[in-house]
Structures are given as structure tokens and as C-alpha cells.
Amino acid sequence: MTFELSKEFADLLQKAVDEKDSEFIKSTLDGVNPADITETLEEFSSEDSRYVLSILAIETRAEIISNLDEDTLKRFLKIYSPEEIAGFIEVMDSDDAVDILNELGNELAEKIIDSLSNQEKIDHILDLMRYDEDVAGGLMAKELIKANVNWTIEQTIEEIRHQGEKVTQIYAVYVVDNYNTLLGKVSLRKILLARDGTKIKDIYDEEVISVYTNIKDEEVVSLMKKYDLDAIPVVNLRGKLMGRITIDDVVDVMSEQAEEERQLMAGISEDVEEDDNIWLLTRARIPWLVIGLTGSFLGAEVIKQFEGQIAVVPILASFIPLITATGGNVAIQSSSMIVQSLATKSVFQDSYLKRLSKVVAVAILNGLLLAALAFTLSYFLRHDLQVSVVVAALSMVVLLASLSGTVTPILLDRFGINPAAASGPFITTANDLLGLAVYFLVAYYLL
């Protein structure tokens, strides 16, 4: 069953907090997923949330805190001392611990690390903090299960019991040599079914997909999606096993990428949230708005060049919104598909010539259909054959918009610029100018 926070439940929980009814809180939240508790506590004050957390097990508290968004996390952890935060860090996976420490600033992070008692945890955290957040090394957790290739099944099972205490989810056992070089993996099923005395080297699978620590997170996502992996081992340039990346980390990256692309396509140049300050929100939106405003002035200049035609045939002006809106919509459709293809690398499965020929074919078909519809509606409403023919020039606008919407993201990607930026006001503004120019040139020659 999915958990839904109702007003009645929130009121009951708030009343229990006010009355310090710990038994009711404990029994009510028993069995509730920590992610749902996180969502619930976001409706409470920091002090009330702290009281609720104090009743729960330390592992549950740590998971709830790791689920908090960045802004809430910083605000909430202010009521805890470095020693108390260290207690949460002790029971977290190393990658989640580093994510939290990176949000708290260097000074506080150092105090928290100094308060940790588990030296292995300290080593893991310090090792992970060397990597940038957007590479495999910054995504991986150090906790994993590994077995030496020369171990017997009995030794391996004993080590799984020992190592498994530190690992929340076991997807596979990675096989290494005496120098910790990754050789392959072996499934838990093979280990359980193997006869006593069998050695790992006799049953492990040498084919294992891994990534280097410096690989970009987008490539990690692409690999795990392509091969349908729940976890992927991370190795250094010498092939030594450094950690593993699990599917929950990849989902986080995918969510961040989707949010970033959505904001870029909407013309927002920075990563912002609704509750950010006014200046930050304004700064994130103003660049593309300025581009849009500049494009509108340029569009006005294009229209100005054809004032004579508009004066002779005023009805031409009424179709300007039709031309600009259709060109912009077509370009956005084309660029969105290309951006999606670039994200999954599928755009490179076909040659550029084949890709462009397909785009042209679709554009011609869409253009002809829209032109026929525009001609029919214009003639039905205006009974002017010449003007209707000019309006049917929409097919050329559609063709050009499709081409620009296809080529622009590919070119930006080639130059290392996020192609999602092409799907926002940039493409729309450019196609407004292109569409108006084509429309009035056709009107000039036909009328």
C-alpha cells in the first residue's frame, strides 16, 4: 500500500507531539517507509521533527535525514550538534554521508568527521570526497560485498555474513584477486548451490560491466539503462575495485537531469527552486527573457520592412500569430526529439544524412497537411484566393522550423553545450524571425 499524508493524520501526529505521546507516535509510524516519514515531517517545525526522530531507531533516523532535500536538510540539521550528526553518518552508506557533508560546508563537515568513531567510515568518506559530484567516483558507495578468487564457498559465505552487516542491499558478490583487481562477479544463487569445497574461481562470471571513477554520471546512467543493471562496480584506471553505484543513485541523477533539462527548455538558466530568494529566481529567468525581448524587436523590424504589403493587403497582419506560433511549435517538437535522442545516444545509430532525410520527409508531410488546412480555413473565412495561397506558405515555415529544430541541438552538442538549451526560447525566437521573413517574402512575390 502507498502511504498518503492526510490532514487528519497530520493533526493527530501534531497533537501527539504536543502532548509528548511517544507511544502513539512509535506505534503510528511503525512499518511506515522512511521516505513517507520524511514527507510527513516536512509539514512540522524542526523542533517537532526532532522529537519524532528521537523516538525512532537510529537507522530509520539516518535514512529519513538522507531523504531530505538540500534546503530542508541544511535548515533541519542546524538544531543538531556535530556529534549528533556524526551519529547519523555512522550508520549511513558512505555515498549518502558524503552528499550530506558536501551540503553542510567545509568547517562543519570537518567537525562531524572528527566526531566519527569508525575509522573505516572516515577513510571511505575522505576517499569519496576527492571526487567531483558528477562523476562515477562521486556517485559510488564504498560498501559492497567482494570475494577473493581463491576462496572456497565456505570462506565466501562467512565473509558475506561479515561484510553484509555494512551493506543495505546485496546485488552480487564481486570477485577480486590478491591485489583487489576486479576479475568478475558471482551470483548469490551460484554460491548457495555450489558444493562444499568449491572455489570461487570455478564458478564466477568473468563478464562484468564496470566503469572508471572519472566517467561522467550521464554515461553511468546510459550504461545501467542499456544493460538493465541494478548495480555497477567502479574501478580505478588500474582496474582495482573502488566501490559500486546502485540503481537508487542513478535514479537521483536521472531526476536531476530531467529537472535541469525542463528548466533549460523553459528558459531558466540556473538550478532554482520555488522557495529560493527573489533575486536568484529573477537572475535565473532574465537571460532568456532578454533574448526573447530582443527577438521580438527584431521581428518588429522584419514586419516593418513589409509595411507596404501590409498597407495594400491589411489582412496579412492577422495571420502573423499563426505563422510565428506554428513555426515555434514545430521547432520545439523537433528539438525535443533530438535532445531525447542525444540523451540516449540513439541519434548516432543512424547516419546524419539518413536522420535529416527522415526529418525532411516528416516536415514535408506535416507542412503539406497544415498548409492544406490553413488554405481551406482561410479561403472559407476570407474568400480570397491569393491571400489563402500566401497563408499556405506555412508548409515552407514548417520545413525550415523542423530543420533548425533538428540541426541546432546536434551542433550545440558537438560544441559541448547542453542541447536542451536549444529547445527553449532560443529556438522559438529564431523561428519567429525565420517564419515572418518567409511569410512576407512569399506575400511580396505573390501579391
Residue 17 to residue 45: CA distance in whole angstroms: 11
Q: Residue 47 to residues 4, 27, 114, 143: CA-CA distances in angstroms?
A: 23, 20, 26, 32
Q: Mind listing the domains of the chain with CATH numbers?
A: 7-132 (1.25.60.10), 146-256 (3.10.580.10), 278-446 (1.10.357.20)
Residue 28 to residue 281: CA distance in whole angstroms: 39
> Within 10 A of 277 (CB to CB), how many other CB atoms are there?
9
Tens digit of pLDDT per residue, the chain (447 long)? 455 667 777 788 888 888 888 888 888 888 788 888 888 787 788 888 888 888 888 888 888 888 887 777 888 888 889 999 999 999 888 988 998 998 888 888 999 999 999 898 899 999 999 998 889 999 999 989 999 999 999 999 988 888 777 777 788 899 999 999 999 999 988 998 888 889 999 999 999 999 999 999 889 988 988 888 889 999 999 999 999 998 888 888 887 776 666 666 555 555 656 556 677 667 767 776 777 778 778 888 888 887 877 777 787 787 788 778 777 777 777 777 777 666 655 544 455 667 667 767 777 788 788 888 888 888 888 788 887 887 777 777 877 777 777 777 777 777 776 666 656 667 777 777 888 888 788 777 776
How large is the C-alpha radius of gyration of the chain? 30
C-alpha cell of residue 45: 517545525
Rounded (10°) CA dihedral 181, 185, 190, 195 = -10
Residue 18 burial (10 A CB sphere; 0-12, 13-18, 19+):
exposed
